[in-house]
Amino acid sequence: MKRNREDMEIVWQTPANPPERHDYIFRNGIRYVKPYYFEFISHAKNRWAGKTIVDLFADEFKGRNRDYYDSAVKSGRIQVDGKTVPVSYRVQSSQKISHFVHRHEPPVMALDVTILHKGEDVLTVCKPASVPVHPCGQYRKNTVVGILQAEYDLAPLFPVHRLDRLVSGLLILARSASQADIFRQQIESGTVQKQYIAKVVGEFPKEEQIVNLRVNFNAREGRSTVEVGEPDEKDSNTLKGKAAFTKFTRICTNGKYSIVSCHPITGRTHQIRVHLQSTGHPIANDTLYLADYVDSSSRRAFSAVKSNHSLKVNSNDNCNCQPEDSIEDFGIDPMCTNCPNLAPIGYDGSEEGLWLHCVRYSGPDWVYECPYPDWASLS
């Protein structure tokens, strides 16, 4: 059973520690990361100078309460310049501050990261929905880059383009920084074409639809909006969004849903999602942009669909992973605010991937493609 580690030696990890195959736990079609001890490092900003170490953490890092930070300082889990300090210690600018935590990563769908092409300079994969591309926020090992390193010993890898966490499909990774720069220069010069497919609400028009609307991303709300009109040269505050251009072509429809080919010319945050919303045909399971375009009966129907699709994956059939009956338990940390749960607070694993899938990237002398997902069939 799970063991208490209060009297055990703790081995701390840093970003230099690579993910390994045994770091993952698979339960009910969900991929978890076995909680691990990790050192978060920051350097004191000028505005932090003069604050006590406990006040600093309580004010700046609100994910835990003040009592936790008080105990963490006293136990040495929060240190300054590699040394333990009293709770009354006042921080100075540029000092190295370490926070040693029992880290719980959010879960993702237990789907394999399928390798499509493996060359000397380039690797292409089919990215599963719900898995971030690279370490960010609370995700480190539960990422495409982390999983490829743990399960295939492929490293280092340099993602060439972005795919949102809930989006699936083609992901191109360079195997050297120099090769990544070549791809990025081509993307920035406009010589790379991108194609996605989406499953949208309703009967999408047969004729090609061109959306040329500025996109304004609100980081605090985590969503984008479109802006109509042209910026006023006399008033720079009239429009804050960035120019965005997308072409849409209907592939097929059954009246209730349509499969649409999406060709983004620019690359703004949530561009395809918010541009489809602007046409009156949002992605059919996109809760972030669907609400403004469906009535209450449609919302009830969507809720039923969501409940039947949320992370219900047979991991033994779809994942290059260990069987569920070989799961190893993890140690409980007495100071951890997430233990005894595997997932961090606020993550229950009940999400699904968007019906948005990257199928093709092409450049001056190269083309990479990814198969269509199952939801792309309306039969």
Cα end-to-end distance, the chain, whole Å: 47
Nearest to 342 by CA among 20, 72, 27: 27
Q: Is the dihedral of CA 135, 165, 376, 210 positive or negative?
A: negative
Residue with tokens 């949102």: 164
Out of 164, 181, 317, 374, the active site residue is 164
Nearest to 134 by CA among 124, 142, 145, 149: 145
Active site includes 235? no
* Chain CA centroid to CA 155, Å: 20
What's the CA gap between 59 and 61, in Å, rounded?
6
**Largest separation between any pair of C-alpha atoms in the chain:** 69
User: Helices 66-75 and 53-60: crossing angle, nearest 10°?
Assistant: 140
* Chain CA centroid to CA 190, Å: 25
**Strand 257-264 vs strand 356-362: parallel, antiparallel, or unpaired?**
unpaired
Are 31 and 319 contacting, i.e. CB atoms less than 8 angstroms apart? yes
Q: Which two tokens stand for residue 219?
A: 């980081």
What's the CA gap between 370 and 166, in Å, rounded?
17
DSSP 349: S
**Strand 356-362 vs strand 168-174: parallel, antiparallel, or unpaired?**
parallel
Give the residue numbers marked as catalytic: 164
